[in-house]
Structure 1
Amino acid sequence: MFRKILVTAAMLAAFGHAYAAVDVNTANEDALRGIKGIGAAKAKAILDERAAHGPFKDPADLGARVKGLGGHTVERLQAEGLAVGPAGAATGAQTAAAGQTKGAPAAGNTQKSSATVAVKK
């Protein structure tokens, strides 16, 4: 019986982690590429724009600043788990609180990590 409970808990944890939001303002290339519809070139464009001009304020800002990401595309990416702006920061904070580990990389760090860290301003 204990084994069944343990297996069920593990499956629920894996399922919840698979649908965790990816914050566009803190994600690395691997996390962005994990979103269906974002490939290597689009992830690089997002990271380059974020590095050059700072975090994205909202979905409209993301669509305006990154070539090839219009309003409908950004909406579709949000449905796939991409979080942008203040609402994305709240979702990212919940994800970070649930899975944050000691020594997690900072928002500007270029080390590869699967954790999402939200930064409040």
Structure 2
Amino acid sequence: MKIRKIMASICLAIMMGTSAVFAGDSHVDVNTATVEQLQTVNGIGKKTAAEIVAYREAHGPFKSVDALVHVKGIGEKKLEQIRGSVEVGGDANSAN
């Protein structure tokens, strides 16, 4: 019985570590990402990715991830879905 608990704990630890590798700790920078790179984020399709790039080109770099709600197709619900996968880097000192 004790061996089963140990084995279960080991399997769980391996699965959690593997999922972290596949999920990745990397974030997509919304200030520098291409449409294709933005589409790698779960919840961002081609249309939304294009809207992010168009908004960035029209208004300058995003100052915060929260500013993504100004992009057509991104509301509070979508923002919360993608928040852990995106970041604001690049030149965030210019706009939004």
Matches within 5 A, 1:39-78: 39-63=45-69, 65-78=70-83
- Structure 2: gaps of 5 or more residues: 1-17
Amino acid of the residue matched to residue 49 of structure 2?
Answer: A
- Structure 1: gaps of 5 or more residues: 1-11, 90-117
Amino acid of the residue matched to residue 76 of structure 1?
Answer: Q
Q: CA deviation at 1:119?
A: 4.0
1:29 aligns with 2:61: no
Distance 1:74 1:120, change over 3 A: closer
Match of 1:82 among 62, 82, 86: 86
- The Cα RMSD (Å) is 2.3
- Percentage identity across aligned positions? 35
2-structure distance, mates of 1:69, 1:120: 19
2-structure distance, mates of 1:120, 1:42: 20
SS at match of 2:74: coil
1-structure distance, mates of 2:80, 2:46: 19
Amino acid of the residue matched to residue 77 of structure 2?
Answer: H
2-structure distance, mates of 1:68, 1:18: 25
Q: CA deviation at 1:59?
A: 2.6
Q: CA deviation at 1:17?
A: 8.7
Distance 1:54 1:71, change over 3 A: same
- What do residues 41-100 of structure 1 show as CA deviations (whole Å, max 9, x unaligned)? 00000001101110111133210x211211231121012x1113xxxx3xxxxxxxxxxx
- Please name the residue that 1:110 is paired with: none
Distance 1:43 1:120, change over 3 A: closer
